[in-house]
A and B are shown apart, each in its own frame.
Chain A
Amino acid sequence: MVRSGTLILSVAARLLMPLQLLFSIFLLLRGHDEPGGGFIAGLVAAGAFALYMFAYGTQATRDMLRVSPRDLIGLGLFLGVISAFPAWWHDQPFLTAQWWTVPLINFKFSTPLIFDIGVYLVVLGSVLTAVIALMDTGHANE
Chain B
Amino acid sequence: MQLAVLGGFVLATFAPLLHRWFGDRAGQVMALLPGGLALWLLFQMPAILGGEVMVFEQAWVPGLDITLTFLLDGLSLLFALLISVIGVFVLVYASGYLEGHPDMARFHVVLVAFMMSMLGLVLADNMVAFFVFWELTSVTSYLLIGFNHTDPDARKSALQGLFVTAGGGLALMAALVMLGIMGDTWSFQELLGQGDALRGHDLYFPMLLCLLGGAFTKSAQFPFHFWLPNAMAAPTPVSAYLHSATMVKAGIYVLARLHPSLGGTESWVTLLSLFGAVTMFIGAFLALRHTGIKSLLAYSTVMALGTLTMLLGIGTDEALTAFVAFLLAHSLYKGALFMVAGILDHETGTKDISAMGGLGRLMPVTAVCAGVAALSLGGVLPLFGFVAKELMFESVLHAERLSLFVQLLSLAAAIMTLAAAAIVALRPFFGKQRDLPKTPHEGPPSMLVGPVVLAGLSLLFGLAPGLVNGLVGAAVTSVRGEALPVSLSLWHGVNLALVLSLVSLAVGLLIFRHWERWRGWLGKLDPLFARGPEAGYFWSMDMIVKVSSWQTRMLQNGYMRNYLVMTLLVLVGLTGYTLWSRHVLSLSFALDVRFHEAVVAGLMMSGAVVACVMRPRLAAVAAVGTMGFGIALTFVMFSAPDLGITQLLVETLTVILMILVLFRLPRFANLSTHLERVRDLVIATATGVLVTLLVLEVVDHRFFPSISDYMIANSQPEGHGHNIVNVILVDFRALDTLGEMFVLALAAIGVFAMLRFHADEYEARQPEREEPSDG
Contact = CB atoms under 8 A, between A and B. Distances in A.
Nearest to B739: A80
Interface stretch (B58-66, B239-247, B322-330, B346-354): B58-66
A123 B646 CA distance: 12
A93 B748 contact: no
Interface in B640-664: 641-642, 645-646, 649-650, 652-653, 656-657, 659-661, 663-664
B727 A136 contact: no
Interface of chain A: mostly helix, strand, loop or mixed: helix
B730 A36 contact: no
A68 to B, nearest CB: 10
B721 interface: yes
Contacts of A76: 741, 745
B749 interface: yes
A125 B752 CA distance: 12
A84 interface: yes
B574 interface: no
A130 interface: yes
A140 interface: yes
B334 to A, nearest CB: 37
Q: In this complex, which of A37, A50, A70, A108 has the most chain B Cβ atoms within 10 angstroms of its Cβ?
A: A37
Contacts of B720: 32, 97, 99, 108, 110
B59 A126 contact: no
Contacts of B650: 43
Given A1-B663, A94-B60, A129-B749, A33 B723 contact: yes
B723 A126 contact: no
Contact of A140 (B656, B748, B762): B762
Interface in A15-44: 31-40, 43-44
Q: In this complex, which of B659, B741, B744, B749 has the most chain A Cβ atoms within 10 angstroms of its Cβ?
A: B741
B751 A80 contact: no
B719 interface: yes
Interface size class of B (residues with CB under 8 A): 35 or more
Given A40-B649, A47-B653, A138-B664, A129 B751 contact: yes
Nearest to B643: A35
Contact of A40 (B646, B745, B749): B646
Contacts of B3: 88
A33 B762 contact: no
Interface in B738-757: 738, 741-742, 744-745, 747-749, 751-752, 755-756
B60 A126 contact: no
A134 interface: yes
B709 interface: no
Interface string B261-284: 000000000000000000000000
A90 B62 CA distance: 15
Nearest to A33: B722
A77 B721 CA distance: 23
Given A99-B720, A112-B719, A140-B762, A36 B726 contact: yes
Contacts of B362: none
Given A39-B729, A115-B737, A141 B762 contact: yes
Given A119-B737, A131-B657, A137 B744 contact: no
B749 to A, nearest CB: 7
Contact of A126 (B734, B747, B756): B747
Contacts of B663: 1-2, 138
Q: In this complex, which of B652, B748, B751, B763 has the most chain A Cβ atoms within 10 angstroms of its Cβ?
A: B748
A81 B738 contact: yes
Interface in A82-123: 83-84, 88, 91-95, 97, 99, 108, 110, 112, 115-116, 118-119, 122-123
A125 B744 CA distance: 10
A140 B761 CA distance: 11
A91 B68 CA distance: 12
A88 B329 CA distance: 38
Contacts of B748: 69-70, 73, 125-127, 129-130
A60 interface: no
Q: In this complex, which of B3, B722, B730, B752 has the most chain A Cβ atoms within 10 angstroms of its Cβ?
A: B730
A33 B720 CA distance: 8
Contact of B726 (A37, A130, A131, A135): A37
Nearest to B737: A119
B104 to A, nearest CB: 23
A108 B763 CA distance: 52
A122 B642 CA distance: 19
A35 B730 contact: no
Contact of B721 (A2, A32, A80, A118): A32
Nearest to B734: A95
Given A130-B752, A133-B756, A141-B762, A35 B745 contact: no
Contacts of A126: 744-745, 747-748
A80 B745 CA distance: 12
Contacts of A55: none
B60 A93 contact: yes
A46 interface: yes
Contacts of B727: 32, 112
Contacts of B653: 43, 46-47, 50, 127
A81 B10 CA distance: 13
A115 to B, nearest CB: 5
Contact of B649 (A2, A44, A81, A130): A44
Contacts of A93: 59-62
B622 interface: no
B17 to A, nearest CB: 15
Given A36-B726, A40-B649, A138-B663, 16 more contacts: A32-B726, A37-B642, A44-B649, A46-B653, A50-B653, A77-B742, A88-B3, A91-B58, A115-B734, A119-B737, A125-B748, A127-B748, A130-B747, A135-B660, A136-B759, A138-B664
13 contacts: A32-B719, A34-B722, A39-B646, A43-B649, A73-B745, A73-B749, A80-B738, A94-B60, A115-B734, A118-B741, A125-B745, A133-B755, A136-B759
7 A-B pairs with least C-beta separation = A126-B748, A32-B721, A43-B649, A37-B726, A112-B730, A133-B755, A33-B722
Interface of A: 1-2, 31-40, 43-44, 46-47, 50, 69-70, 73, 76-77, 80-81, 83-84, 88, 91-95, 97, 99, 108, 110, 112, 115-116, 118-119, 122-123, 125-127, 129-131, 133-138, 140-141
